Amino acid sequence: MRDVVEKLLELAGIQVGGPRPWDIAVHNPAWYGRVLRERSLGLGESYVEGWWDCPSLDAFFHRLLGSGAEGRLQVTFRMALRTLEHRLLNFQTRFRAWKVAYHHYDLGNDLYRAMLDPAMNYSCAYWKGARTLAEAQVNKLELTCRKLMLEPGMRLLDIGCGWGALARHAAERYGARVVGLTLSRPQKDHAEAVCAGLPVEIRLQDYRDLRDVAFDRVVSVGMFEHVGHKNYRTFMDVVRRHLAPDGVLLLHTIGGNVTRPGGDPWLAKYIFPNGELPSAAQICRAVEGRFVLEDWHAFGPDYDRTLLAWHRNFIDHWPELEHRFDPAFRRLWEYYLLSCAGAFRAREIQLWQVALSRHGIPGGLPVRDLEAPAAELVGVP
């Protein structure tokens, strides 16, 4: 087993016991068999348990995923069964949708306040012209609002509003009236606090339970990864039903290069229960007959830099968090952030902003990119 694993690592330029930042140290000889049997799940669990270490996890995953080494292994019975389950079952029903809130987003606002930018944006930043994470996140908010073509008085639906950064920005800077949806009580409480005095309503509500009149604009940033392939068409139907005839939808989501039912087993078990990355084909099938595709903007490499910034913040603020979280949680969270950074660097996963309209925007979408960096807006009310 050791020979098989080490040969696969060599294909990625990784050595066991090597001196480079992406080389690994194995502390438990049972690691080799565990990784062959359990693949992604075993690799992640054994790291959290201290069976192996690596000076630079992001560099390790960049090389491992970029090499295609895993594709040389045969599919196990457990993997085939899991794929079949995800093809047949809906893992993102109304009841199951709340699980990710309890498991992940409700871990505590102190954790996310320590890790994220001051406005607590928990999605990919846009680094063009930015020097800091805060500037890059303002860039992302500006890019999003400009693509939505927001005007004063417009009603904006924010599906998966997080801690309220986009709702606040849209209301303060563009005069929008915002309804934000979240399944997390701590997110709702924080969003209501930061949006106090603004025309913003934050609801603890599933998108499928909407009963409102039409919105002028709809946005979803970092939430579509929780929708699941069984519900992509339902999501688009709900949006279309609640979007004005001349409205615009902006979908900001992580995406996969291939259609693959179910998410990464380790991430699905420990970070985002029932999460699943859509492929471009799945998004297009869900959009077909419902919307006009106005623009598809890919900036996945920016997520690598965003995740590294979150990781630095997490490590820098760990002394403030260790009274609530044990050392195993620190290893788990580092593995989550840095493995994802490596995956984006290897272009194994992507970040897309997809602009859609109901009947087509006359003349097309006027904004494709930021005309100038929005860094000057950091901290500006």
Question: How does DSSP assign 320-347, residue by residue?
Answer: HHTTTS-HHHHHHHHHHHHHHHHHHHTT
Confidence at residue 377, expressed as pLDDT on a 0 to 100 scale: 62
* Residue 80: pLDDT over 70: no
Residues 38, 82: contact at Cβ < 8 Å? no
Measure the CA–CA gap between 94 and 333, rounded to whole angstroms: 27
Q: Determine the residue type at 301.
A: P
The sheet with strand 177-182 has its strands ordered as 200-204, 177-182, 155-159, 215-221, 243-256, 349-357, 292-298
Measure the CA–CA gap between 137 and 115, rounded to whole angstroms: 13
> What percent of the chain lies above the pLDDT cut of 70?
91
Instruction: Please list the residue range(s) of the chain that carry CATH number 3.40.50.150.
Output: 95-300+347-377
Tens of pLDDT, residue by residue over 148-197, are: 999 999 999 999 999 999 999 999 999 999 999 999 999 999 999 999 99
Q: Determine the residue type at 214.
A: A
Give mean pLDDT, residues 16-37: 96
* Residue 201: pLDDT over 70: yes
Measure the CA–CA gap between 380 and 378, rounded to whole angstroms: 5
Q: Determine the residue type at 105.
A: Y
Q: Which helix (H) or strand (E) holds 172?
A: helix 165-174
300 vs 378, residue with greater confidence: 300
What's the pLDDT band for 256 if we cut at 50, 70, 90?
A: very high
Q: Give the number of other CB atoms < 10 A from CB of residue 188.
A: 21
Measure the CA–CA gap between 86 and 369, rounded to whole angstroms: 36
Please choose, from the candidates 277, 315, 380, 270, the residue with its C-alpha nearest in 3D space to the C-alpha of residue 44.
Answer: 270
State both tokens at 13.
Answer: 């330029």
17 vs 88, residue with greater confidence: 17
Measure the CA–CA gap between 5 and 2, rounded to whole angstroms: 5
Confidence at residue 284, expressed as pLDDT on a 0 to 100 scale: 98
What's the pLDDT band for 101 if we cut at 50, 70, 90?
A: confident
* Residue 39: pLDDT over 60: yes
State both tokens at 76.
Answer: 């196990």
Please choose, from the candidates 132, 192, 140, 200, the residue with its C-alpha nearest in 3D space to the C-alpha of residue 172.
Answer: 200
Tens of pLDDT, residue by residue over 257-298, are: 999 877 899 999 999 998 999 999 999 999 999 999 999 999
State both tokens at 100.
Answer: 């990710």
The third-level CATH classification (topology) of the domain covering 95-300+347-377 is: Rossmann fold (3.40.50)
Please choose, from the candidates 257, 227, 265, the residue with its C-alpha nearest in 3D space to the C-alpha of residue 80.
Answer: 265
86 vs 204, residue with greater confidence: 204
Which entry of 54, 124, 195, 340 is annotated as an active-site residue?
340
Longest CA–CA separation in the chain, Å: 65
145 counts as catalytic: no
Measure the CA–CA gap between 327 and 333, rounded to whole angstroms: 10
Give mean pLDDT, residues 67-79: 63
* Residue 381: pLDDT over 90: no
Confidence at residue 77, expressed as pLDDT on a 0 to 100 scale: 43
φ and ψ of 218, to 5 deg? -130, 135
What's the pLDDT band for 370 if we cut at 50, 70, 90?
A: confident
What's the pLDDT band for 78 if we cut at 50, 70, 90?
A: low
Measure the CA–CA gap between 220 and 232, rounded to whole angstroms: 13
Cα 132 to Cα 28, 125, 148, 245, distances in angstroms: 40, 10, 25, 38
